[in-house]
Every structure is written in structure tokens, then in C-alpha cells.
Amino acid sequence: MSGPGAPDDERAARVFLGRVIEPGDEVAGRWVRETGAPGAVRQLLRGADEDAPTGVSERRWAGLRARAGAADPARDLALADAAGLRFVCPGDTEWPGTLDDLGDARPLGLWVRGSPHLRMWALRSVAVVGARACTEYGAHMATALAAGLAERGWVVVSGGAYGVDGAAHRGALGADGATVAVLACGVDRPYPRGHTGLINRIAEQGLVVGELPPGEHPTPSRFVLRNRVIAALTRGTVVVEAAHRSGSLVTARAARRLGRHTMGVPGPATSALSAGVHELLRGEAVLVTDAAEVVELVGDMGELAPERRGPVLPRDLLDPAARRVLAALPGRRAAPADEVARGAQTTEDDAVARLYELKALGYVERLGDGWKLTRQAVLSVRPGPRQP
């Protein structure tokens, strides 16, 4: 069948099916793969019971046909054009091939708001997700991570929600970087409403994407299924604060199933909001604390995080033999040179020579026949057991 209600064009057919099939429906996805999108539309509009796809019950088939009766791809495309949206589907040059890793659960297509090229941005992107009711620590870490990634030329992807998502988007925007919000509703209807200004700003500076048609509202199941798109779109997922039942863990687990890097930012052991992250870290997730460590994992060979070490103390610059003599001096009394030599496992002559060297540097002072640490040395030597 052909005509206004039965598009033969692949793009229009996928727009049509977007009104009929819920995101992530693998049974419907297999049906579309086997028959092609235009063929699936023709079966729906014929409405014959024998046209029902394998695995679809009679009741569900009736529900799909009812939805199909209200679908109008020409209207949706016109609404999208008026709102500055475009529809990207498999086969387009802008389609991110990473989404194909979802198999039959891949989106029929994505509605996109914003001018950058979606596929090119996805090639160098990282998801930063986490708790909606995050702590100040979680917001700070998400902001700092996103800003650091943006400064290194990475695209920050998140879900546009309150908490960690919003902090991640703001961190990237604040660094004049690139960010993508993946919504669980029509991209022409920012959600949550309190983030309307933020999502509009993302659309101006980056991209807002979603698989639901214009005007569609979010539901709990759509939030969960949206997370698979975030995971598939990116090179890796970082979770910043997540309780045991957090939706961001769904994203992390999807990333792991897809062979993407899964990372977590640790929090206090006593924090319920970090319990889910810690559970991830006990599994296959990698602990990260800043953008450099994220990039080391997801980036190209050679993009290494700097070596981590504590501050360099003045005593670290001493010759090893002098450090041994310094460490052999008691903390609270003077000691003769022979005692110091035994503690440093050297000769008395060598110990005396080192003590004079240390005296010139201000670490020790002569006290009668013995040698004693100065205040400078006491502050420089690591704390240890008290000396008599």
C-alpha cells in the first residue's frame, strides 16, 4: 500500500514507526530489520492478524495498529522543521555507527536539535552521569570532570536531568566546550522544565538529541531506555555518585555490555549516594578522580595522566647517605656521632662528615659532644615513634 498514510521512503517510514514503537523494543526492532521500515508500516496499515510479527500477541498487535492510525510522518517532519530539528536515521552520514552496537534495540532514528555533526561528536565523547539528588561533592566532581574533558577536546554527554547531569553540562559549557543532552522525551519539549534554560543553551552551543517524536512526554520506562543511547553513543561512561538503585547504574551496565569503558568516582564510604559507585568499582569499573585519568582510559595511545605523587619535601633533595644520617638522629635529644653512625649503618668518620653537611643546611646543630635535630629538621622528617 502506498499513499499519504503509508510512506515508502525509509526516513518517513521510520518517523511513522517512531509514533508506534516504544524505544528499545527488541521484538519490534527485529521485525523492522527483517521487513524494512516501509514494509513494517504497510503491515501495520493492512491491519490483518496474520501480519502480526513473531512474538507479538493479538492484544499488542491491536495496540500497535491503533497507534499507527494516529501516525502522520509529514506532520512530524513539518513540526520538526518549524522547531529547528532534524531526523537522523541509519544510513545517514550523520548517524553514529556506535548505536548499531545495540542490535535490534537501536533507535529507529534520532531527533537532533543543534548544528554540530552528531556522528563526528560521538567519535570523541564521554558520558558523565549520576545522582539527581547529588551532594555538593558530587556536583563539584561532575563539574570539574566535565570542564577538564571539554578543555581536552572531548564531548560531554549526559541526560539533562537535575543533579550530576546538569552539573556536567554546565561544566562543559563553562569551559566553552561541547556537550550533548540525550532526552527521554521530544527534544522540542525540554525536561525537566526547571532546566529549560540550560537545555536551550545546550542546543545553542551543542546538541540536544532524543529518539521520541516531537511533543512526546517522558515516562519512567523511557528514562531507563534512554540510558542505553547514552552508553552506546560514547566511548565510556563515568558515574559520579549513585545509590544502589540509581538509573545511572543502568547506563554504566549498558556501557559494560557494549564493551565501552566504565568508570566511577569514589565518594565517602559512609555515603549512601556513593554506594552504587563503590559496587561498580568492586566489579569491572575503573576508579577515576579527574579528567586526565578518564582520557588516559578512553583516549588514544599516549594520552596519559600525569604521575601522581605527594609534595616534594626539602629532605627529599638530600643525598641518600645524608638522609640516612638525618633519620638516625633521635627526635628529642642529642646523640654522639658513634650512635648516629650505628643507626645509619656507616662509619663514624662518614657520619661526622654528613653531620657537618647537614649542619650547613640547617638540619642539625652541635650540642656539646653530641648532635641534635633543629626545628627545621623535625618538621621535615616524617612522623615516627617518639625517641627517648
CATH number at residue 355: 1.10.10.10
Residues 6+ apart with CB under 8 A from 99: 90, 106, 107, 110, 229, 232, 233
pLDDT at position 359 is 86
Q: Which residue type, as a one-letter code, is found at position 310?
A: G
How confident is the model over 85-111, as a mean pLDDT?
96
Domain assignment present for residue 308? The answer is no
For residue 372, the surrounding DSSP H or E stretch is: strand 370-373
Domain assignment present for residue 80? The answer is no
How confident is the model over 17-42, as a mean pLDDT?
94
Domain assignment present for residue 15? The answer is yes
Q: Judge if 130 and 36 occupy the same domain.
A: no
Q: Judge if 188 and 114 occupy the same domain.
A: yes
Domain assignment present for residue 306? The answer is no
Note the pTM of the prediction, 2 decimals.
Answer: 0.79
Q: Judge if 56 and 127 occupy the same domain.
A: no
Q: In what order do the strands lie in the sheet with 364-367?
A: 335-336, 370-373, 364-367
Q: Judge if 176 and 285 occupy the same domain.
A: yes
pLDDT in tens, 309-355: 656 566 667 888 888 998 898 888 899 999 999 999 999 899 989 89
Three-class HEC string of 229-251 = HHHHHCCEEEEECCCCCCHHHHH
How confident is the model over 19-34, as a mean pLDDT?
94
Q: Which residue type, as a one-letter code, is found at position 204?
A: E
The SS3 assignment for 216 reads coil
Q: Judge if 131 and 194 occupy the same domain.
A: yes
pLDDT for 301 beyond 80: no
Domain assignment present for residue 50? The answer is yes
Which residue among 41, 73, 105 closes a domain? 73
Domain assignment present for residue 232? The answer is yes
pLDDT for 362 beyond 90: no
Domain assignment present for residue 88? The answer is no
Query: With bands split at pLDDT 50, 70 and 90, how would you rate the model's confidence at 52?
Result: confident
The CA distance from 360 to 264, in Å, is 49
pLDDT for 143 beyond 70: yes
In this structure, are residues 209 and 182 in contact, taking their beta carbons and an 8 Å threshold? Answer: yes
pLDDT at position 231 is 97
pLDDT at position 77 is 94
The share of the chain scoring above pLDDT 70, in percent, equals 90
151 half-sphere exposure, CB direction, 13 A CA radius: 13
Q: Judge if 265 and 150 occupy the same domain.
A: yes
Domain assignment present for residue 324? The answer is yes
Task: Please count the residues of the chain.
Answer: 388
In the chain, what is the straight-line distance between the N-terminal and C-terminal CA atoms, in Å?
Answer: 98
pLDDT at position 383 is 45
Beta bridge partners of 180: 157, 207
The SS3 assignment for 364 reads strand
Q: Judge if 247 and 171 occupy the same domain.
A: yes
pLDDT for 302 beyond 60: no
The SS3 assignment for 3 reads strand
pLDDT for 136 beyond 70: yes
15 half-sphere exposure, CB direction, 13 A CA radius: 24
Q: Judge if 285 and 321 occupy the same domain.
A: no
Angle of the 10-18 helix axis to the 73-83 helix axis, nearest 10: 90
pLDDT for 385 beyond 60: no
How confident is the model over 71-95, as a mean pLDDT?
94
pLDDT for 155 beyond 80: yes
In whole angstroms, how far apart are CA 137 and each of 159, 228, 278?
19, 26, 15
Which residue among 241, 270, 298 closes a domain? 298
Which residue among 248, 270, 298 closes a domain? 298
User: For the chain, how many structural domains are there in total?
Assistant: 3
The CA distance from 191 to 238, in Å, is 22
161: cell is 536531568
Q: Judge if 134 and 208 occupy the same domain.
A: yes
Q: Which residue type, as a one-letter code, is found at position 199?
A: I
Q: Judge if 121 and 249 occupy the same domain.
A: yes
Q: Judge if 61 and 114 occupy the same domain.
A: no
Instruction: Identify the CATH number of the domain in which residue 166 sits.
Output: 3.40.50.450
Q: Which residue type, as a one-letter code, is found at position 106?
A: R
In whole angstroms, how far apart are CA 158 and each of 164, 180, 252, 290, 323?
9, 6, 12, 17, 51
pLDDT at position 46 is 86
The CA distance from 35 to 53, in Å, is 10
Between residues 358 and 176, the one the model is more confident about: 176
The CA distance from 216 to 8, in Å, is 24
Q: Judge if 138 and 277 occupy the same domain.
A: yes
pLDDT at position 379 is 63
Range of the domain at 357: 314-380
How confident is the model over 294-308, as a mean pLDDT?
72
